[in-house]
Amino acid sequence: MRLLRLSLINFRNYLNAEAEFHPGVNLFIGANAQGKTNILEACHLLATGRSHRTYKDLEMIRWGSESYHIKGLVQKRSYNELLELHVNNQRKKIVKINGQTQAKVASLLGRLAIVFFAPEHMELVKGDPSIRRRYLDMVISQISPSYLHNLSQYQRVLQQKNALLKEEKPDLALLDIYNRQLSELSNSIIIKRNEIINTLELFAARKQKELNSQEELKFNYSSSFKIENNVFSEELLYQQLKRREKDELFRGTSLLGPHRDDFLIFINEKNARYYASQGQQRSIVLSLKMAEALLVEREIEEKPVIILDDVLSELDRDRQQLLISSLQGFNQTFISSTYLPPVLSELRGRVFEVEKGKITLRNET
């Protein structure tokens, strides 16, 4: 799949900008703070309904304006689709697909498939479990609407349960109903996370070998529930919740569930969060991101658009080279950088200059 055209109105530092993209590589070159990431963020919004760097929708409306508008034309294997996202300063979000207003923002999901790689992703290895959890949820949500549905249901019930746990005299029958609902939702969420982690591990381990044949990469789902030999069920999870009930009432918060889980990364059998060197950390993130691209392609049977926001400068020449040659297997790529990276000089594509919220086509190679 490809993003053919993008238009931005009152989005971040763009008053009114439009660009037509190359089916291959699109390079955005410009000094810092000119609007490179803003373009890529707009792509992320069209793909997921959310920004990759903020939860605050209003922050993205151009200062002094009342609403922003993003429009993108997406080319699929057999048809084109026009995606629009409109957000006003009342936080109202409107999504249109081919001009038709959609009931839910989530209707956007999966229509423009992207794999977004930003310098922040380097945190995936060393950062808190919440970073890996959010990452995993984002990846799965893009390919599975039912997962996103379960996840938001889970978060809603969890909030209700937490509010109940904080009450002076909680209704225990209601607590039990919440625990039943949560064990059902947790079960589906954990099954899906496990499945995706296994697939990511398979693809990432292969990529890791290409980077450095000696290193063994393994992923493991780590649940706050006790799960032995990967055996669990709704009933088993419910029993564990039941057993922790007193504890939870005492502490006034939920102690078990997918909202406390993590996925562990092992490099040569050691937990990468604590033991990976900086070089290993970069390789792992690179392998993981490439695995994500392969996963998305397998799931949706289309090649996702690959977006690299300012990451080349984070990598040494060998890793840059490997990344670029992996990209040859995909259709379209968006790359931002403050300089024209030498590894890209032979690729076919378009170079755009980005300056003070203006996108100018510089040349086509």
Ligand X SMILES: Nc1ncnc2c1ncn2[C@@H]1O[C@H](COP(=O)(O)OP(=O)(O)O)[C@@H](O)[C@H]1O
**Residues lying near ligand X in the complex (CB under 6 A):** 12-13, 30, 32-38, 59-63
Q: Binds 257, which of ligand X, Mg ion, none (CB < 5 to 8 A, cut-off by type)?
A: none
What CA–CA distance (Å, rounded) separates 83 from 95? 8
What CA–CA distance (Å, rounded) separates 322 from 250? 53
Per CB under 5 A, 37 contacts Mg ion: yes
Strands of the 217-222 sheet, one edge to the other: 217-222, 262-267, 270-271
Residue number with CB closer to Mg ion (52 or 207) = 52
Nearest residue to Mg ion, by Cβ distance, number only = 37
Q: Binds 35, which of Mg ion, ligand X, none (CB < 5 to 8 A, cut-off by type)?
A: ligand X
What CA–CA distance (Å, rounded) separates 38 from 60? 9
Q: Binds 161, which of Mg ion, ligand X, none (CB < 5 to 8 A, cut-off by type)?
A: none
Quote the crossing angle between the two packed helices 129-143 and 278-300, to the nearest 10°.
20
What CA–CA distance (Å, rounded) separates 331 from 4? 12
Helix (H) or strand (E) holding 17: strand 14-20
Residue number with CB closer to ligand X (110 or 357) = 357
Residue number with CB closer to ligand X (53 or 260) = 53
Number of residues forming the site for Mg ion (CB under 5 A): 2
Site for Mg ion in 316-355 (CB under 5 A): none
Length reported for the chain = 365
* Cα distances (Å, whole numbers) of residue 218 to 32, 197, 269: 36, 10, 8
Quote the crossing angle between the two packed helices 129-143 and 172-211, to the nearest 10°.
90
Residue number with CB closer to ligand X (35 or 257) = 35
Q: Binds 195, which of ligand X, Mg ion, none (CB < 5 to 8 A, cut-off by type)?
A: none
Phi first, then psi, for residue 14 (nearest 5°) are: -100, 125
Q: How far is the CB of 259 from ligand X (least distance, A)?
A: 30
For residue 320, give every residue at least 6 positions away whose Cβ sits within 8 Å of its Cβ, in sequence order, or none: 312, 341, 343
Per CB under 5 A, 144 contacts Mg ion: no
Q: Binds 13, which of Mg ion, ligand X, none (CB < 5 to 8 A, cut-off by type)?
A: ligand X
Residue number with CB closer to ligand X (242 or 358) = 358
Phi first, then psi, for residue 108 (nearest 5°) are: -70, -30
Residue number with CB closer to Mg ion (36 or 71) = 36
Q: How far is the CB of 53 from Mg ion (least distance, A)?
A: 9
Q: Binds 12, which of Mg ion, ligand X, none (CB < 5 to 8 A, cut-off by type)?
A: ligand X
- The three-class DSSP label of residue 83 is strand
Q: Binds 62, which of Mg ion, ligand X, none (CB < 5 to 8 A, cut-off by type)?
A: ligand X
Q: How far is the CB of 59 from ligand X (least distance, A)?
A: 6
Contact residues toward Mg ion (CB under 5 A) are 36-37
